[in-house]
Homo-oligomer: A and B are copies of this chain.
């Protein structure tokens, strides 16, 4: 029977260690744990923060649909998806996906799949707050993300 994924949409940060332990502690059937953490970056030094807008209700629902697709496709022992919203400064966490499985290939593929799909389907939008002040621009969706998502169809 497929596992029930844990999905959370929250403004507060998440704890990689605690979320990983939740999927492994006291178990003997987990052989592979893959975590993906997406962080706010700013190589140019021009970004004060990202503002993440989301569609409350649909964000949780869509992430749950994607997570359920992953547990149906791969033999996972656990799956966690956490996406933050609100203002996030460079160097801080935005998203966490953790896939646990008996075997490494399933864990890698499920985490990779979820990130690709989440980018193109989860209702979140990023606005840039420039370091020099003033009103920022909305981040544009990348066609590369659509291509990445198309790898799994």
Contacts and interface: CB of A to CB of B under 8 A. Distances in A.
A148 interface: yes
A96 to B, nearest CB: 10
Contacts of A26: 91
Interface string A104-146: 1101100110010000000000000000000000000000000
B24 A102 contact: no
How many copies of the shown chain assemble into the complex? 2
B24 A91 contact: yes
A102 B32 contact: no
B37 A20 contact: yes
A113 to B, nearest CB: 10
B35 A31 contact: no
A104 to B, nearest CB: 6
Given A27-B91, A33-B35, 5 more contacts: A16-B17, A31-B40, A33-B39, A108-B111, A108-B112
